[in-house]
Chains A and B, each alone.
Chain A
Amino acid sequence: MAATAPRQQGTLGSARLREALVGYAFIAVPMGIFLTFFIYPLVYSLYISRYDWGVFGKIETLGWENYREMWHDEIFWRSIKNTLLYTVVVVPVEMALALSLAVIVNAGIRGKSFFRSSFYFPSLASSAAITAIAIYILSADGLLNAVVGGQRSWFGDSDTALWSIAGLNAWTTSGTMMLFYLAALQAIPTDVYEAAAMDGAKTWRTFSRITFPLLKPGHFFVSVVAVIGALQVFDQAFIVSNGSGGPNYSTLTAVLYLYRTAIADVRFGYAATIGIALFLLIFTLTLIQRLLFGKAETA
């Protein structure tokens, strides 16, 4: 990767050795952390998943029993269904919103940094604080009902709870996604637009025929980030349902079910199994996206 720097003769061997030793010393702590808390857990998780594992460790060897149980666990499948439905809804909304905001901010308008900051603003707030605010605004006698009418508790009704979380997250993440799209928009060469202007192309036509297709790497990157984020949705579901995933399992996302299995039920073996399944799901969907977008380079 890096070119070799010219070196003095003679002491070459020992200097090289010293450089290598210094190099290892400089990365020792980070590598130790990564091996212990990232790489090793991959293997350890597989190991735990083959046991009935409680608060004090192994209880009993189960072999593949946890996997069999998961396959027949209706609540698990309900949580996967919730998560996938949520993802299918929230990702396109996030992307459309983010792209619109990016195009607006990127157009020749005055005060674009003001608008950029306003749109990014919700991305700054913590998930807990913003969820608390959403609970208040979407409560039965909250601000939203005062505007649209009705008495619905949006997070308390199993028909709307998950979609309310989707709306909340589409809003809070759009700012970050907007920044990714802005970077992608900026990467489009200016002469492309000059040529379009010369041809007398209209704004919408320029956008749909030129900008949108040229944003392919941007779409890929944003969609990967959005899908991974959506499949891992947890904080908001946890807070609105007091950690239960209710009402009636409507906000039970896959990660929330994983959390409940591990922490509330203290079934670490089974929870590890769910974690592995979730990892495979995320991994597969990311691969599929990569295939769909062809060889679009990541941003």
Chain B
Amino acid sequence: MNANESPLRAEPVLRTRGLAMDYGQGAGRVHALDGIELEVTPGEALAVMGPSGCGKSTLLHVLGGLERPSAGEVWVAGRRIDGLSEKALARLRRRAVGFVFQAFHLMDELTAVENVELPALLAGRSSGAARRRAAELLERVGLAERASHLPSALSGGQRQRVAIARALSNEPLVVLADEPTGNLDSVATLDVLRLLDSLRSAGQTLLIVTHDERVAATADRLITMRDGALVDETRLTRGTSGSLGDLVGLER
């Protein structure tokens, strides 16, 4: 199931209704998510912004099946996931969802290509097929010549690109990225942005949680969260019609 096969009726890749997530008891009860209604169409890049503690990471975890919501419904590709068993959720993560984390979360003792082939191996594919796919993906993110490097020999931006390659391993319906540029300097940020942009152009559905406006600016749609609720939605227009001079503020 690839986001590239454009369905006739755009069935949302992700959908939530009344999603809520609570932590703690009594006086210490925290509403991490408070009645979220959300839809993500295939091929769309959605950015989620908000101050820290607003629940955007929690939203991501719930959408990816890493946490179970306290209330509400979540659909992934038309299939309801909020009540699934851990085993089924694992299968979901294998097939439909790819994760990118702020801290990269690469295995320190595996080379780049070994890290990227991991989801395919966990999904039961043969070691040869997994390795080939991993090599392809590393090529795609521009790190083919670093395939046998350990993460400690890679820069922050390179590590995150390896992590993105890993997320693409099982051709997921959607890539969920949690502050992908949070640990990166501005140069590395640009590299990752470029990659995310190229993914978007290729039709990959993306959901990016970020507090960096530059990252959000590469999306098609931006939603803002505050205190667990969606408070704003902006459609970011595509394309730039003006010249460089217009952008920079030099006029004719």
Do the two shown chains form a genuine complex with each other?
Answer: no
Where the two chains meet, the residues of A that have a C-beta atom closer than 8 Å to any C-beta of B are: none
